[in-house]
Amino acid sequence: MELLERFASGDLEAFEALFRQHQKEVYAWIVRIVRDTGIAEDLTVETFWRIYKARSRFQPQGNFRAWARRIATNAAFDHLRHSHRETDLPEDLPRANDADPAIRREARDRIKVAFHELPAKYRLVATLALIEEEPYNNIAEAAGISVALVKVRVFRAVRILRKKLNSSGVEVNAK
């Protein structure tokens, strides 16, 4: 508690201690969202810069970890909104059959394009929920939205993806 009070009052040593304690976790969270280690490194620095600038608004009796995750999510979301990078998808996506590798690669490329074209707010929750399998309550807390809104955004993201993929010739089976 004393460390958090010192941080909130502007103590640079307290900030550095919190940085050392939380930087790996913040970095890991951001990597899960942006899917790029180099960008995650930059956004981790950006996150801690935002944390330091907002220190006067931090309540020392609050949860620093949750507050830092929220700021990290906002930094990653800002990046997603302004970037034109593709989101890497896992290699082990379910396959309907063992089609020709060229056909699978083409389908995977179409999935990447469709995923990238999602609005940032849907891409954020879809990445965390569908790819990272993060629990909805963690996503809601980090994004500063309700669990119900997380569910709605995941549902809409899946619906948009299914529509885009079906129109581009990639067969998507509903579960």
> What's the pLDDT band for 12 if we cut at 50, 70, 90?
very high
DSSP string, 34-88: H--HHHHHHHHHHHHHHHHHTGGG--TTS-HHHHHHHHHHHHHHHHHHH--PPPP
d(CA 109, CA 96): 16
**Tokens (6 digits) for 112:** 């990447």
Whether 80 contacts 34, CB under 8 Å: yes
Domains, the chain, ordered by start: 2-82 (1.10.1740.10), 101-167 (1.10.10.10)
d(CA 139, CA 155): 14
Whether 56 contacts 13, CB under 8 Å: no
User: Is the pLDDT assigned to residue 29 strictly greater than 90?
Assistant: yes
**Tokens (6 digits) for 34:** 């942006």
Lowest mean pLDDT among 5-9, 80-84, 169-173: 169-173
Residues ≥6 apart with Cβ < 8 Å to 93:
108, 111
Largest CA distance in the chain: 62
d(CA 72, CA 30): 7
**Tokens (6 digits) for 117:** 């074209």
Over residues 114-149, the pLDDT tens digits come to 888 899 999 999 999 988 899 999 999 999 999 999
pLDDT at 157: 92
Which residue is associated with the tokens 């550095």?
A: 16
Q: What is the pTM of this model?
A: 0.68
